A and B are shown apart, each in its own frame.
Chain A
Amino acid sequence: MGVLIVFIQKAIVQGMGILFGALGEILTEKSGNLNLGIPGIMYMGGIAGLMGAFFYERGSASPNPVVGMLISLLCAFACAVIGGLIYSVLTISLRANQNVTGLALTIFGTGFGNFFGGSVSKLAGGVGQISVSTTASAYRARIPVLSELPVVGDVLFSYGFLTYFALVAAVAMSFFLFRTRRGLNLRAVGENPATADAAGINVTKYKYLATCIGAGIAGLGGLYFVMEYSGGTWTDNGFGDRGWLAVALVIFAMWKPLNAIWGSILFGALYILYLYIPGLGRSMQEVFKALPYLVTIIVLVITSFRKKKENQPPAGLGVPYFREER
């Protein structure tokens, strides 16, 4: 029982960062942009948030956790939006290829994160020395009373606020996409930009906004790893392949934010499952680590041959839209 609770907790902790990334990518892909720069953008968000907090804590005599939190939140979001903006300018205005631009952005963003991560560590006095524990304490603060409940408290209420924020964001995004006029417009842009354009929807504006805001949300995933998961420290390439897992989760969730919630927890569970299966040799552990990807491939294949309309990728995904070239 105790092990199971810890397992669920750990799965949720692993999953939330991926959930942010996937939510950002869902919003982006709904506008028809396949942004493969999401892994890079998550690095950008993570390091910007960390640097914001770091310089605030360094500059202030008695840093306040809440102020540090707000600063890092803002920095992470803003920096990730800049990443999204680079992608948008290149693919929407300058009509560059989406895959190529996205991959370049991932190279840039990952380098950006590791570069500044390394540099700030140096400022802080050496590798692994960077620590913004004051700010991180705000991220790691648990809900009083509720988190002390037995079992329920551990499973449901033992997380920092970003976890609940991710859940709220997923529900809100689902409502936005499927219940509001603007959400409908956005989906129209992703499905068939030419028709949307003819219906008087500003395709360029929707694509820009969805991509940039999506990037900002994904950036919070990076921040989550840095602050809540790692407690305000930086390790180079610390996110590993989680950025790509976020892209995988979008497919697994079939472009629906609500599916992404349980999908992210499942991915988190699969990611750490090998630690909890007794008697697993080292080699078998490695096989288990491939599970999230294998599951994604299976979902991808099944959805492609079942051809259910509502489970397909947006029809205009990855296809650039130029009004005069229809």
Chain B
Amino acid sequence: MNKEPLFRMSRRESIGIGKQILIYVLALFLALVVCAGVIFLLVRMNPIDVYKAMFDGALGTKRRTWITIRDLLVLLCIAVGLAPAFKMRFWNIGAEGQILIGGLVSAALMINIADKIPNTVLLVLMLIGSAAGGLVWGLIPTFFKAKWKTNETLFTLMLNYVAMQIVTYCIVFWENPKGSNSVGIINQKTRAGWLPEVLGNDYFWNIVIVLVLTVFMFIYLKYSKQGYEVAVVGESERTARYAGISVKKVMLRTMSLSGAICGIAGFILVSGAGHTISTSTAGGRGFTAIIVAWLARFNTIAMVLISFGIVFMQKGAIQIASQYGLNENASDVLLGIILFFIIGAEFFIKYKIERNHRQEGK
């Protein structure tokens, strides 16, 4: 009856950074082997060639590299926004909606008041407006969570779709040309409300904004008193209350910050990348960023690496798709497989597995 299992596992007390990296590299390697198998089964292509093509798709030309960087920045920005919420164990699944509302505010300003005020003022207004939009959208579920403990995972999830419908609602009024059911490129001629190019680079401001936010968040979470309070609430609400921290206040404050940064991501997407607004402006990035923020364990620097990895994969997969006539949804399949392995790898970082030594006799 009392059969002893072959292996036993125990929580690791600590783990060296080298070993941690080794485990992740191993997981990534295994994931790529599985992906290669899948690719081979599907297209009978040499997987090495396929990976070469992926590299080419993500970083092959200067233009492609910049697009990779552009998308990396947006993903990073959202993940940075989500980090404090998750650290507080507040499951903000609503980044998608917060981005859309932020982007919507930007688009509204670009369309309606671009010709009435100077461009710099417009851009500043857009930045603030988007942040405010995301903030409000993030605060709604937080208010209910703080007051009645309403489940925030499900609430924020639902708000994504409400935001989407608000966007389609507005598109009806803004559509250009009429009847196209899309907004088109906003202010294509005047470029009003577009983040201006600096030193011949379209994405200069994107880089500046996201880097500032990333560094700010790193310092905020690690060295500020507020960041510490976030960590305490995340570890245990009871401890926080005992220590005299107002959980409600921390929750509202942290989600304001989180929502505002996601709103800014919407601003970047509209003003600094797409110059348009649609329901796919967020395009699932809000969900992908959740995985980024979680895997990086709220360490903003690790987020840069993981965001890069994911965007690289996506761009690469689009390239193999067009090069080998594969359907471009292959990228999501491959990304999914890689994520499964990386998520699974976390277990081996937290726990160690040892073989049980058999007792004498049987």
Question: Which parts of A236-263 form the interface with B (CB within 8 Å)?
Answer: 236, 241, 244, 247-248, 251
| Contact of A290 with B284 at beta-carbon distance under 8 Å, contacts A101-B343, A112-B336 already known | no
Cα distance, A199 to B168, chains bound together (Å): 52
Contact with B along A210-247 (1 / 0, CB 8 A): 00000000000000000000000000100001001001
Question: Which parts of A95-118 form the interface with B (CB within 8 Å)?
Answer: 95-97, 99-101, 103-112, 114-115, 118
Cα distance, A301 to B143, chains bound together (Å): 11
The main secondary structure of chain A at its interface with chain B is helix
Question: Which parts of B1-26 form the interface with A (CB within 8 Å)?
Answer: 10-11
B333 near A111: Cβ-Cβ < 8 Å: yes
Cα distance, A289 to B279, chains bound together (Å): 14
Q: B339 contacts the other chain (Cβ, under 8 Å)? A: yes
Contact with B along A18-42 (1 / 0, CB 8 A): 0000000000000000101000000
Question: Which parts of A270-325 form the interface with B (CB within 8 Å)?
Answer: 281-283, 286-287, 289-290, 293-294, 296-297, 300-301, 304-305, 313, 318, 324-325
Q: B154 contacts the other chain (Cβ, under 8 Å)? A: yes
State the interface size on chain B (CB cutoff 8 A).
52
Q: Which residue of the partner chain, among A95, A105, A118, contacts B347 with CB atoms under 8 Å?
A: A95
Q: Report the contact-size class of chain A (Cβ under 8 Å from the partner).
A: 35 or more
B344 near A107: Cβ-Cβ < 8 Å: no
B333 near A115: Cβ-Cβ < 8 Å: yes
Cα distance, A100 to B289, chains bound together (Å): 10
| Contact of A304 with B150 at beta-carbon distance under 8 Å, contacts A103-B291, A108-B335, A115-B329 already known | yes
Q: A119 contacts the other chain (Cβ, under 8 Å)? A: yes
Stretch at the interface among B112-120, B156-164, B246-254: B156-164
A108 near B336: Cβ-Cβ < 8 Å: yes
* Least Cβ–Cβ distance between A59 and chain B, in angstroms: 19
Chain A residues contacting B161 (CB-CB under 8 Å) are 241, 244, 290, 293
B148 near A286: Cβ-Cβ < 8 Å: no
B329 near A290: Cβ-Cβ < 8 Å: no
Q: B155 contacts the other chain (Cβ, under 8 Å)? A: yes
A114 near B332: Cβ-Cβ < 8 Å: yes
Cα distance, A318 to B154, chains bound together (Å): 11
Q: A86 contacts the other chain (Cβ, under 8 Å)? A: yes
A104 near B291: Cβ-Cβ < 8 Å: yes
Cα distance, A111 to B42, chains bound together (Å): 15
Cα distance, A305 to B343, chains bound together (Å): 35
| Contact of A247 with B148 at beta-carbon distance under 8 Å, contacts A101-B343, A108-B332, A283-B169 already known | no
* Least Cβ–Cβ distance between A252 and chain B, in angstroms: 10
Chain B residues contacting A201 (CB-CB under 8 Å) are none
Q: A1 contacts the other chain (Cβ, under 8 Å)? A: no
Cα distance, A96 to B331, chains bound together (Å): 23
Q: B144 contacts the other chain (Cβ, under 8 Å)? A: yes
B151 near A286: Cβ-Cβ < 8 Å: no
Q: A8 contacts the other chain (Cβ, under 8 Å)? A: no
Chain B residues contacting A115 (CB-CB under 8 Å) are 326-327, 329-330, 332-333
Chain A residues contacting B166 (CB-CB under 8 Å) are 290
Q: Which residue of the partner chain, among B151, B172, B336, contacts A313 with CB atoms under 8 Å?
A: B151
Cα distance, A106 to B336, chains bound together (Å): 8
Closest to A122 in B: B327
Listed residue (B158, B160, B161) with the most chain A CB atoms within 10 angstroms of its CB: B158
A99 near B290: Cβ-Cβ < 8 Å: yes
B347 near A96: Cβ-Cβ < 8 Å: yes
Question: Which parts of B323-362 form the interface with A (CB within 8 Å)?
Answer: 326-327, 329-333, 335-337, 339-340, 343-344, 346-347, 350-351
Q: A82 contacts the other chain (Cβ, under 8 Å)? A: no
Q: B226 contacts the other chain (Cβ, under 8 Å)? A: no
Cα distance, A36 to B11, chains bound together (Å): 27
* Least Cβ–Cβ distance between A176 and chain B, in angstroms: 24
Q: Which residue of the partner chain, among B172, B284, B294, contacts A107 with CB atoms under 8 Å?
A: B284
Cα distance, A321 to B79, chains bound together (Å): 27
A107 near B287: Cβ-Cβ < 8 Å: yes
Closest to A287 in B: B169
A286 near B340: Cβ-Cβ < 8 Å: no
Listed residue (B157, B172, B295, B336) with the most chain A CB atoms within 10 angstroms of its CB: B336
* Least Cβ–Cβ distance between B215 and chain A, in angstroms: 25
A304 near B172: Cβ-Cβ < 8 Å: no
B290 near A100: Cβ-Cβ < 8 Å: yes
Q: B93 contacts the other chain (Cβ, under 8 Å)? A: yes
Chain B residues contacting A109 (CB-CB under 8 Å) are 336
Q: A94 contacts the other chain (Cβ, under 8 Å)? A: yes
Closest to B347 in A: A94
Cα distance, A199 to B95, chains bound together (Å): 41
Other A-B pairs beyond A112-B332, A283-B173, 12, CB < 8 Å: A100-B294, A107-B288, A107-B335, A107-B336, A110-B329, A115-B326, A244-B157, A244-B160, A244-B161, A290-B165, A300-B158, A304-B149
Some 18 contacts from A to B, beta carbons below 8 A apart, are A34-B153, A36-B93, A94-B344, A95-B350, A96-B343, A99-B290, A100-B294, A111-B331, A112-B336, A115-B330, A236-B329, A247-B157, A248-B158, A293-B161, A300-B150, A301-B148, A318-B153, A325-B11
